[in-house]
Structure 1
Amino acid sequence: MTGRPSSTVNRRTDIISAAIDVFAEIGYYRATTAQVAARAKISQPYVFRFFSTKEALLQEALLVSWTRILDAFRAVIETTGSDQIEEQLIAAYIEIMESYQNEVLLQMQAQTIKEDSIKKVMQQGFLEVQQMVLDAFKKAGLEKPEERTLLFLSRGMLCNISMALSLPELMNE
């Protein structure tokens, strides 16, 4: 019985990973839990053992993506000197975009979903990232930290669009 909780956690993680990929590839509204189950190589009823609705599954997938960003930024902030903080945060986000493209695409889609629970997850994620970056910029003594935070977030959104549309020239300076 000791292996069961780990197996359960792994299956839950497998379902979330499958959902991220399916939702990002074909869109949340077109995707079905049957497609998520097939991607996770489990039965559809097993998905509902962990998530009562497709919306609950999306919420969890989004939380995973926001946690990844927050954890990466936290690691940068804890290990980087003030003079390199902005550059290292950018590098961390680029690494996420390259390694977890479907999570970024999922977040982009979720910005257009009107369900209150999804909007709440997205609002909370953006606000946490904004506050973390602002606090880091203030602590680093950067000039106009609020403005730099706004520009940092804006450039991140432009990076997302550039990646999603395969238009790297959007990022040319």
Structure 2
Amino acid sequence: MKKNITWMMTICIILAAGLTAVLLPFRTALVFYEENTEHLEAFLPLEAGDTFQIIFTHSIHLTDVVEKYEIMDNYEIRQNEIIYEEFGIGMPSNAEEGATFTYEDGKYHIKGLDNYFASMNIRNGKAVSEHRLVWNASTNNTSEAKNMVWFNEYFEPGAWFTLKVEKLTLWEYWKGVKIDD
């Protein structure tokens, strides 16, 4: 009888350890949730200190806008730069206090931004669906970035998402769609 109890306890401990390993958050990622839900649509493994960019083609003047971000230790997203070619609807005409506004190589740069987000709402373009995600770019030339994907490879045009930096469980990692280059 004692052997049966020991055997059952051993099985319970193994099952509990396995379940804990699968459900315990272990990997930090930039997570794309379907708008207003907790449905994980896709994720990109990133760590604190990693950078990413969201590039989109402005729907009116049809030139690229680059927004640069960094993952912070507390899982917030820090926007630190915007680059664009044309003034127009939705484009800033000057820098906020503490930031700098420059014109370099035919593009406007607002550098030194210090905007923090716990989450961001973003839409994959519908009229002009040319959103791109770039991560850990080693140069300022985003058109030659090695780590770049088009949103349309993962999302429908016009789809809305909430972006957050979170730790994923092994289960979420297995069942989710990992963004790769």
TM-score normalised by length of structure 2: 0.21
Q: Which has the higher helix share?
A: 1
Q: Which has the higher strand share?
A: 2
Higher relative contact order (CA 8 A, sep 6+): 2
TM-score normalised by length of structure 1: 0.21
